[in-house]
Amino acid sequence: MMHLLGEMALWSAWCFAGLQCSLPIIGVLKRNPYCLAVARPAACAQSICVWVAFALLVSAFITNDFSIAYVAENSHATLPLFYRMMALWGAHEGSVLLWIISLSVWTMIYTYVAASQLSRAALPSPGGGGLGWGDQNHQTSNVSTNLSPHPNPPPPGGGSAVPLALAILGMISFAFLSFLLFTSDPFASAMIGMQGQDLNPLLQDPGFMIHPPILYVGYVGFAVPFAMTEAALLTGKLDERWATLAYRFTLATWSFLTLGIVLGSWWAYRVLGWGGFWFWDPVENASLLPWLAGVALIHVLALVRRRKVAIRWASLLTMVCFALSLLGTFLVRSGVLVSVHAFANDPRRGLFLLLLLAVFTMLTLIINWVYAPESFSFSKIAFPKMTRATGLLLNSVCLIVAMLTVLLGTLYPLILDALHLNAVSVGAPYFNMVMTPLVFIVMGLMGFYMLCSWEALTFKQWWKKAWQKIVVSIGSACLLVWYIGDSSDLTLFLGLALSFWAILSVFWAFRLSFGASVAHIGFAILIVGILLSSVLTEEKDVRLRPGLATTLGPYQFFFVEVVVQNGPNYRGIRAVFDVLKNKHVVTQLHPEKRIYTVRNTVMTKVDIHPGLFRDLYIALGEPLPHEDWSLRIYYKPFIRWVWLGGLLMMLGGLCAILI
């Protein structure tokens, strides 16, 4: 019964999505207000049906309904309830449903916000706060004006941008519901007598409860500024309302994507047992690509709102962000990658997603080419050198170059493999080598334009603001490098100096651009955390038995005992360590070795003692003769600053929306 109700809910959602994407377009072409009016109720009905399907699948996991194949393949009667509830997105079918759920949430938010915006006679001024790089001396009109310098004649139905945007969102929903129903049905019936096969042990961690949903909200959210922009292009409404809404929705989705990436990094650090937070895994890169493009889009939309220039560049970047989200979906679910993060291995699914990506990208390029031909040229964008506008534009270009660099390193091995050419492996050395100078350039530009104003400055005027900050930044970096004792590391020195420069340069703009300041400080702290943790981290592989100790950094790790530690769906061994500093016990660590009985999978569960300035990290290895155990121990200074910086960036983005 559960699977029949689920199928009915999904097919109903599919039908409403078809109405949502087709009737508003007919309304635009035929100038039919009744067809246009269908967009909102169809979107609401589709959202209700999708949520019903989601609730039914969650209920099937909770009640161990193994008549549904997806439940049987990813759950078990002994799996704790907490993990059964989140097993829904533990594999391909459920993750696609989560993708659709996220899109329905964003669609409903857009419906509400657009309706409230349309109810106002005029938009408020963007003001001076937030990530809009505000300036007290700059005034903007609160009248909604067309920002396009030479708008193309709009097609019939030029006042229907919101229904048309909902229609585009409906097309995306319709495509993914088709993908779900025809290739990845989560309610397909299981074979008679099939029992649960348990959830992947790598995913049996509390971090998995929040990481995928938040990451998906960030991924999918780029569909809204994309749909808004394409509708605005088609209706000739690239106006102030579009710029403001696109800016705020981009900030919101980028903030969630930032949090999702931070949580994913934290999960990898805690669960995978190798002591790192970013592996340059292709699936990790798949989330970084739209993040980089999203930062560029935020900068350009800020420029659009303030100076009404670079409009075409902004419209193109909305397409790039959404295309990269689709590309990431393809990489994770097509089976072309081997990764702990990847789900699917069915070629049909990969082909469907690849065709979807190709169709949406091609249609969008055609729309941009026809209705926004200047999208591909900067010839009409000319700024004085020493202005904030120049810095914003240059930073957006650098970020897109960084995105293309990561994209090349991610796709190049896949392309060679698809062409049956010599296989190559592109790993951390490539990405670190090419990304480090780009990151340093971006940080330098951050400090540059935060000290500029919207009006042109002479170099002398700018230098008067900047020289003290430059001196303090260089001096602080020199002192810290000297204290660390690694004065030969030029990368460390440049990274620290630029981080201090980025932090100092935003203090004077805190009141005017609070969100930007918090986000920039967060980025600088993240870079400091990466640099210091990579330089100061100490690790040790050791063979030890109970009653013996080893030393790492200023700490002594005393192996107390090994005890049996069994859980509801696993059996295992837990080691007990006393950690001492200056002969005083600081904490006790309990790394584990587990065997998950249903899948017969061996897992290492690390234990970490966190701190603001250092982490102590132990992973229990294999048992050895004479009651010895292999151990890997890490002393990781400043590692928490990586996630602290990411959280500050996310908070800065949210503050920019609210303030």
Question: What string of H, E and C letters represents the secondary structure of 498-533?
Answer: HHHHHHHHHHCCCCCCHHHHHHHHHHHHHHHHHHHH
The residues that bridge with 542 in the sheet, in sequence order, are 631
Residue 18 maps to a domain: yes
397 found inside a domain: no
Q: Which residues contact 235 (CB under 8 A, 6 or more apart)?
A: 28, 154, 155, 157, 158, 159, 160, 161, 164
Quick one: pLDDT at residue 282?
84
Q: What does the alpha-carbon distance between residue 490 and residue 639 come to, in Å, rounded to a whole number?
A: 21
CB neighbours of 397 closer than 8 A, spacing ≥ 6?
296
Cα separation, 171 vs 230, in Å, equals 13
> Concatenated DSSP letters for 330-392?
HHHHSS----TT-----HHHHHHHHHHHHHHHHHHHHHHHHH-GGGG--TT----SSSHHHHH
- Looking at the domain assignment, is residue 480 inside a domain? no
Backbone angles phi, psi at 390, to 5 degrees: -60, -45
- Contact residues for 451 (Cβ-Cβ < 8 A; gap 6+): 462, 465, 466, 469, 505, 508
The four Cα atoms 484, 486, 490, 492 give a dihedral, to 10 degrees, of -30
CA distance 185 to 645: 39
Total domain count for the chain? Answer: 2
Rounded to an integer, what distance in angstroms lies between the CA atom of residue 252 and that of residue 651? 10
pLDDT given for residue 456 in this prediction = 80
Amino acid in the structure at residue 597: T
* Helices 282-307, 311-333: inter-axial angle, 10-degree rounding: 160
Residue type present at position 300: V
Asked if the structure places residue 393 within a domain, the reply is: no
Q: What is the residue range of 130's domain?
A: 2-381
What's the pLDDT score for residue 120?
57
CA angle 44, 49, 51 (to 5 degrees): 95
Residue ranges in the chain whose pLDDT is less than 50: 121-145, 148-158, 340, 373, 375-381
- From the list 391, 286, 387, 283, the residue with the least C-alpha distance to 342 is 283
Q: How far apart are CA 343 and CA 345, in angstroms?
A: 7
pLDDT at 158: 41
Q: What's the rounded Cα separation, in Å, for the pair 584 and 578?
A: 10
Report which secondary-structure segment, H or E, holds 405: helix 388-418
Backbone angles phi, psi at 614, to 5 degrees: -165, 155
Whether residue 317 is contained in a domain is answered as yes
Residue type, 80: P
Task: Please report the pLDDT score of residue 308 as a whole number.
Answer: 81
Q: Which helix (H) or strand (E) holds 484?
A: helix 459-484
Considering only the C-alpha atoms of the chain, give the largest distance between any 2 of them, rounded to a whole number of Å. Answer: 84
pTM of the model: 0.90
Q: What are phi and psi of 374, to 5 degrees?
A: -75, 0
Q: Where are the alpha helices (DSSP H) in 184-272?
A: 207-221, 223-235, 240-271
Tell me whether residue 150 is in a domain. yes
604: β partners: 593
Does residue 618 belong to any structural domain of this protein?
Answer: yes
Tell me how far the alpha carbon of residue 448 is from its chain's centroid. Answer: 27
∠324-94-335 over CA atoms, to 5°?
Answer: 55
- 371 within some domain: yes
- Could you give the CA distance from residue 659 to residue 650 in angstroms, rounded to a whole number? 14
pLDDT of 138: 39
CA distance 53 to 179: 15
Cα–Cα nearest to 502, from 482, 481, 518, 478: 518
Q: What is the pLDDT of residue 124?
A: 42
Rounded Cα gap, residues 71 and 73, in angstroms = 5
The rounded distance, in Å, linking the Cα atoms of 481 and 345 is 48
Task: Give the neighbor-by-neighbor strand order of the sheet with 607-609.
Answer: 538-544, 629-637, 614-623, 607-609
545 residue type, one letter: R
Quick one: which of 499, 475, 295, 497 has its CA closest to 397? 295
Percent of the chain predicted with pLDDT > 90? 58
Residues 6+ apart with CB under 8 A from 279: 268, 428
pLDDT digits (tens, 9 = 90+) for 385-432: 778 888 889 999 999 999 999 999 988 887 787 777 776 777 888 899
Instruction: Calculate the CA dihedral of residues 552, 557, 559, 562 and round it to 10 degrees.
Output: -100
